[in-house]
Structure 1
Amino acid sequence: MTTAAKQSVVPFVVSATGTGVAQHLVTSGKGHEFDTDAYPAFGGKDEAPSPLFYALGALTSCNQVTASLVAKDLGISLGAFEFEVQGDLDTAVLVQGADGNANFDKVTVRATVESDATEQQFARFVSETERRCPVSQLFVRSGLEFVNEWTQAPLS
């Protein structure tokens, strides 16, 4: 039995070519292009961001997109965002082939966003942003320690 595709599903497709540990990637649609590489300790030349930096960057960017959608639904206004994300990676599995999980042990998101929300609205805004953000959910559901700290700044 075949299931009909959901109307709300949007496919995201990336094509990649590479040699060694470096890759050149192209997105479907507009054909945006980007490159990845790795630190010399991982066999790269460090000529482009590591895929791990892209993963953490995707987390900040997706949170900002999701936050904008959530704010609209809650009727609050947002201004500037500032993010700092840290991923703590034990490289023993990746580099040495040790037993265990190659995932980050812990990822910490620190965000400051200008908003006119009340304290209660802001708490709901943060909770809903984490729940609805696809990239946050990739991290949360992977089982790592996920710390999500948001601070509200006055809307300028």
Structure 2
Amino acid sequence: MSTRPKQTVVPFVVEGTGTGVAQQLQVPDSPHRFETDAYPAFGGQDAAPSPLFYALGSLTSCNQVTAQLVAKDLGITLGRLDFRVQGDLDTAVLVGGEEGNANFDRVEVTARIETDATPEQFARLEAETDRRCPVSQLFRRSGLEFVTSWTQVPAGSEVEALSA
């Protein structure tokens, strides 16, 4: 493995404090704060999103940020980006204490991207975003079934939001 210069390493820090299953989190030296809780079946009050929703939300957000960086490199323009992520979690390990992996069994990312890209550029956008997105790589390398499906929408056309 090659050693990377220190100027390319950016530390990301989050601090959390809580009681029970609820937690208040903050980014040090910043105004950014958020809360997590759990469904009542997991001992929570469902007063804030579950950490699992934040994990899936991080996946959509990181894909969007990474796609913008890749689009810039490719010289293409992105309009609206719509993502839907579904994570299928068998709770037998988490809740029941069974042996096994507490990870999602499967995560599916569906995206509808408005862009002026050629079909070749769009294929490159999707592949490079997946390769360069740190959160996609966390999921992909965790051993779960990771599925992505991106659809190109021509720039300037009406884009319908993704829904279940």
Same fold (TM over 0.5): yes
Conservation of the 8 A alpha-carbon contact between 1:38 and 1:45: yes
TM-score by length of 2: 0.91
Cα distance in structure 1, aligned partners of 2:4 and 2:145: 36
Report the CA distance between 1:5 and its aligned residue.
Answer: 6.2
Report the CA distance between 1:29 and its aligned residue.
Answer: 3.8
1:35 and 2:35 aligned:
yes
Q: Deviations over 1:88-123 (max 9, x none)?
A: 000000001101000000000000010001111100
Cα distance in structure 1, aligned partners of 2:62 and 2:4: 28
Q: Deviations over 1:20-60 (max 9, x none)?
A: 00000001242300000000000000000000000000000
Report the CA distance between 1:4 and its aligned residue.
Answer: 8.8
Conservation of the 8 A alpha-carbon contact between 1:111 and 1:150: yes
Conservation of the 8 A alpha-carbon contact between 1:12 and 1:28: no
1:147 partner amino acid: V
Cα distance in structure 2, aligned partners of 1:119 and 1:41: 46
Cα distance in structure 1, aligned partners of 2:99 and 2:119: 44
Conservation of the 8 A alpha-carbon contact between 1:81 and 1:114: yes
Secondary structure at the aligned position of 1:25 is classed as strand
Cα distance in structure 1, aligned partners of 2:154 and 2:53: 30
1:109 and 2:109 aligned:
yes
* Residue of structure 2 in register with 1:144 after alignment: 144
Report the CA distance between 1:140 and its aligned residue.
Answer: 0.2
Structure 1, unmatched stretches of 5+, are none
1:114 partner amino acid: E
Structure 2, unmatched stretches of 5+, are 157-164
* Residue of structure 2 in register with 1:7 after alignment: 7
Cα distance in structure 1, aligned partners of 2:29 and 2:17: 18
1:94 and 2:94 aligned:
yes
Cα distance in structure 1, aligned partners of 2:5 and 2:39: 41
* Residue of structure 2 in register with 1:65 after alignment: 65
TM-score by length of 1: 0.96
Cα distance in structure 2, aligned partners of 1:72 and 1:140: 24
Q: RMSD between aligned alpha carbons?
A: 1.2
Cα separation, partners in 2 of 1:4 and 1:85, compared to 1, 3 Å: closer
* Residue of structure 1 in register with 2:121 after alignment: 121
